[in-house]
Structure 1
């Protein structure tokens, strides 16, 4: 009996707890509904405030645009630009008859006025004087003869064997310039070194410099040459380094450096020879140092000069 009462009391307590939970649930639901209503009201008020703020800002922008437009119209009017009234949007959306055509014509008039104003501000271009083309007279080509060769008297200051070629001498020859010229000469098998030391020679000075076994040769020693042998030409007594060699009947007008493509020396060389008197000649004219004498060979007559 006591146990039964205990269970009844416990059941009664559970029923009261359930009723309390149900009551709390209803209270929570009501509170949630009230919060939803309050939130909706607050959201509507916020949207209204935001819309009002946007309207105010939009009105400020419209006012600023209108002021800028009026300022632009004032400036254009002061500069003489004609103002044309633009028809309303309503008018433009009517039938595609006269109003649209009139708008196009007014737009063309506005563009024309603007172009006239721009052209009026432009300075007229000054006519530039025409350049007269200068006609260059063709340079007369000099005849190819002995006068194109720069033949001078040179003095051999030093002679030795070429370090890289057994058949070449390496010579230092003074010819009236600031420093001696370096000459590579193939005389090893024809003229002893002793006969070249401290002697005067005839030097061809305007050949294009050429590298021979690693050393640049800047001139050529003129020699009488044939199958019998090779002899270095002998200048007249009393010559000095740099004395010029001339040929009677031919103007001495040498190239600074003979162009190998024009083959000047190759054209002149066949007419260089010695005569019966051992004199060095071009055709039938003797080569000489004016006022000092003729160029001669030692023993070779009527042989080519190279």
Structure 2
């Protein structure tokens, strides 16, 4: 969760505070301390976002393409004081719609998948030493899937199938924050690792002539994120920023094969999974007025050369609520 000014005030105060303060540092300290006290206050948060994505892979006459979007909304609280710790939480809802076209053998197939994910996210943060913060976070969600799948084989009429099934997802991770201030510029860096677990229960795809059983699948993925964000404090109300970072998958394991064993023997299959490395760039701004902060953001990301993602979101924070 984005806590821009709050984090920077804490980090900056760690640089300028000392028992024997230099006069310049004393002025900075006296300026920052009231802001620090203001932004450390508990707050209510509403976050909404729209995210569209596209994956395309082709090898010869075979291909695997999909595209779709996520709609995200979360409501919660943050900067809740528990002694030396700060904590936050939110309840979230994510609705995903995804359409896939694939030609991996003699048959062409099209599927439309709708997913609804409802869950809870929590985190606890503590300053370890100046200017380093550690943030531990976790989430758990329950998923409902609705699948429409059509197979275009050698017959004149396509074969439609339908299924409803469920699953769960969870993740746990740790994040470090550090920062540096120079005049009106604030640079924040963070390093994140999280381990996610997705479980999909066994389900049936119901076709007119038969049912196809799809076995349960558990996916375990470890991910590193490195990110840097540069702010410019225009005035007490407005602070734009630019951001950039890297994504690396440290591990990716599945409880079973993702495709039929006969397909796995085909050497000319297109790429089926998103690449392990990528980048993310974006921009946004903070607007503060009295007890309200509004933060619109936009990010563009790529993984390998065939996955592209556009994210636009806005966060409303009600300080002191």
Task: Please give the range of the TM-score, normalised by the shorter of the 2 chains.
Answer: under 0.3
Q: Which has the larger share of strand?
A: 2
TM-score by length of 2: 0.16
TM-score by length of 1: 0.17
Which of the pair has more CA radius of gyration? 1
Structure possessing the higher relative contact order (Cα contacts under 8 Å, 6 or more residues apart): 2
